[in-house]
Structure formats: structure tokens, C-alpha cells
Chain A
């Protein structure tokens, strides 16, 4: 009995260590037939739960309509999409622990982050600003010294405020809804996040006119989809998917659906941003 137990344990350990040896993401998706992404549940319109209780968003649509088809074509089988919730402090651990294969939310591509993960092409461009109650004297990063400012823990915005305006009283919340609630009730006087996310919050608020998104972009925030390092094949598929979507016009259809005049959150694509996106598409 004791001997078979030891043999069983050795077999278990070797089988586990055998499994843990490098399996690429493409192999993993091929085996399971599913692409698992991490995305947000409270960041309209990139990833949120809408009135009909559906988990939708711009980032989710991009994956569903541009990347999953590219994956299916590459692996020659239909691929399903599975979504898991991610937030600034959990998204990199979710990725490195293999719980998700791709982070498709509102993650800024930065050099520091590229030390830990790889990024796809930039799929959206914005910058950091402040959301305040209409009428407050706060006009931008120059007026927040000494004020109470909410930010999301783990975001680039919190880091920049900490460095550039150390006298600002930063209160970091785990997620956007809590930070917005604190702003609404007065616990903080401003909430900082990427301009587009603030515009989304404002549009979805019960009284959108009571809020104002103020300040020049105090940081450049290019959004990219994060994936694990050393996965060139998977990254190639993701980038090809995005490039095909941009060159075929599908990207702009999806953009229009969410950010167009009749979209969830009107946010016109500047000519400069459009050119930037198009120039990311390298020749075939």
C-alpha cells in the first residue's frame, strides 16, 4: 500500500511537471478550442455590462470580430471566446499565470510594462484627464495640488500623479465604480483616468450634464492588447487580425458602432489617430 502510494505520487509529479513544460499559447488554444481574454466589467464602452445584462464593449468586439476569425483561420477550426474579468492590479498576474491568453481592455502600452508582457498593435489612442463635478475650480493637473484625487490602484495615472504632484492626496480604489462613487459623494474632488473612460462614465451617469472632463492630456495613453512574452506566433495572429480589420474597414465599423455619432459614447476619431492606425498596417 505504501509502495503503490509512493509510485503513484511520483507518477503524478512527473506528469504534472511534464505538462508544465513549455506549451505555446497557440497550442493551448488549439487544444481547448477557446481563446480566454481578460476584460473589464465596469469600463464603458470598452468592457462593461449593459442594460440587458450582456457583457459587451469595444475591446470585446474587436477580439470577437477581428482576432477570433484570424485565430480560427490559422488553427483551421472554429474558436470560441471566453471572457474573464480583469482589473489593473490583476491583469498581468492573470496573464502570466495562464489564466487568460489575452488582455483586451483599456491597458496602456508602456515601456515598463513591456518588460513583463508583450503588446499587440495600438488599437486606441487617448490620454489622462480628470473627471470633476461641473463647476468645481479644478481645471487640470496644474490645479490638483493638495486636492483629494481618486485613481485606480495600479494604473499609470496614479503613478504619474504621485510623481508630478506629490502634494495631491491620492486615494486609490481597486475599481472604477468605487472611485466614481467616491467622486459623486464628495469623498474625493476629482477622479483621474484615461479621457475616454471618463467620457464613458460621464455619458452613462444618471445626469451626464453634472460632470465635466477637464484638463489637457497629461499623459499619452495608447491602448494595446497584452499577451505573454515569447509568443511570437500568437502575437502575429493577433496583429494580423487587427491589421486586416483596419485595412478592410471592419475596425472603423466597430469604432463607429461604439464611438460614432449614434454610438454608446460619441468620440470622433481624429484624422491624426486614423492615420496612425492605418500606418500600423504593414504591407502583406
Chain B
């Protein structure tokens, strides 16, 4: 095998800072998208179980529409499909201020919002109906009941699937490279094309994703143990 290993391309020379820049971009895009997804997911998940049919229909439309189309298509939609619909002034401003990045954030956020919505809906539906009835009978409105009683419990119940979705979101941020976002996967390919050290670049990228995702999963696991509701969850074996 003629391949010469050269690990220094990862941290020195022209290509030295790229991995770090890519990681920062990935973290930024993932965090912003996660916030959007979480907010959309909570609203949509709640609306899916609301007593009002139009609200349920609206939320179902959102979920089915956005989760049944590949994320890659959504990336192109938000980057190429949305700007022409905006006024020219907004378009010009947007293109000068990181249109690629924001298109990526919205594509990722809205897509995962639909997926979070299903996860939260499952959590809400796991709560006995009697809770909502009791809340309503104490004089709370439906909105208040959801905000004060149902949601806090539901969110604590769905931490495992939410961890799954969060990790998925971080990994899916790599799709943004198709619209020119210089995130981690993009940078590993960039290092590879500039230095031909494919093995080092790809291994570094793999390890970084692993570390980030495992860290998130560990934090969520800790949260899960601390916030477990006694009596509502079957005790499993601790990891």
C-alpha cells in the first residue's frame, strides 16, 4: 500500500483550522435548528392531541407534509425555492448575510420539528386521560392545562426518543453541505481534496461526530434519570 499517513494536516498548515471551523458551524446550525424544531414540535404535538378538530388537522398537515419528504429536498427548497418568493431587498440582504446557513437552519428545524412533534404526541398520549379531565375540572382552560400539567409530564416521559431525534438532527446537519454550508462533513472532504489524506480526514470527522453525539446522549441520559417520574415508568436496567 502506497498510502503515507500524515496526521498533521488535521491541525497545521493551510488545512489546520478547517476541522474546528467545520465543527463550530455544525454545532451552530444544529443548536439553532434544534431550538426551532423543539418549539415547533411542542406546539404541533400539543395541537395534534387538542380537543379542537381544526387544530388537529392543521398539525397533522404540518407533520405529514414535512416528514414525508427527504431532508435533502427540503434543503434545496429553503435555499432555492424560498428566496425568489421574498421581496428583492430582503433577498439581497439575505444573500449577503449567510443565506446558505439560514436555509440550512430552517430546513433542518422545520423537518425535525415534524419528527419531534410525533415524539411529543406519543408522550402526551401516554399520560392518562384522567389528568387532563382533573385539570379541566379545577377550572383551568385547555391551554393552561396543557402548559402547566400535561406538557411538563410529557416532556419528562419522552427523553429517550427525544435524545434519538436530537442526535439525528446533529447528524442530518451534514446534508447542508449540498447547499454550500461549510460544516464538518464539508470540511473533511475539503481537507481530503486539498491534501489527499482521505483516511485521516474522514477518521477525524467520524470521531468528532461520535464524540459530539455521545456527549449529547450521555447528558440526556443523566437528565432522564434525574427527571424520571416515579410510578409512571417501568424500571429498566441502568446502563
Contacts and interface: CB of A to CB of B under 8 A. Distances in A.
A149 B91 CA distance: 16
B83 A153 contact: no
Interface string B37-77: 00000000000000000000000000000000000000010
B2 interface: yes
A116 interface: yes
A163 to B, nearest CB: 9
Interface string A152-196: 011000010000000000011110001001100111100000000
A153 B189 contact: yes
A144 to B, nearest CB: 15
Contacts of B84: 185
B99 A178 contact: no
A96 B81 CA distance: 37
B96 A178 contact: no
A92 B190 contact: no
A93 B198 contact: yes
A150 to B, nearest CB: 8
A132 to B, nearest CB: 15
B195 to A, nearest CB: 9
Interface stretch (B25-33, B132-140, B172-180, B225-233): B172-180
A110 B177 CA distance: 26
A76 to B, nearest CB: 31
Contacts, number: 59
A181 B182 CA distance: 18
Given A115-B196, A172-B182, A186 B189 contact: no
A99 to B, nearest CB: 14
Contacts of A153: 177, 186, 189-190, 193
A229 B84 CA distance: 47
B79 interface: yes
B196 A154 contact: no
A116 B2 CA distance: 10
Interface string A109-149: 00000011000000000000000000000000000000010
B179 A173 contact: yes
A12 B79 CA distance: 49
A88 interface: yes
A92 B196 contact: yes
B177 A174 contact: yes
Interface string A226-239: 00011000000000
A174 B179 CA distance: 8
B100 to A, nearest CB: 6
B95 A173 contact: no
Given A116-B196, A173-B178, A89 B189 contact: yes
List of 4 A-B pairs having minimum Cβ-Cβ separation, nearest first = A154-B193, A171-B180, A116-B196, A89-B189
28 contacts: A89-B193, A92-B196, A93-B192, A96-B198, A115-B196, A148-B95, A148-B96, A150-B180, A153-B190, A154-B189, A154-B193, A159-B194, A171-B180, A172-B186, A172-B190, A173-B179, A174-B177, A174-B178, A178-B76, A178-B179, A182-B79, A182-B80, A182-B180, A185-B80, A185-B84, A186-B92, A186-B95, A229-B2
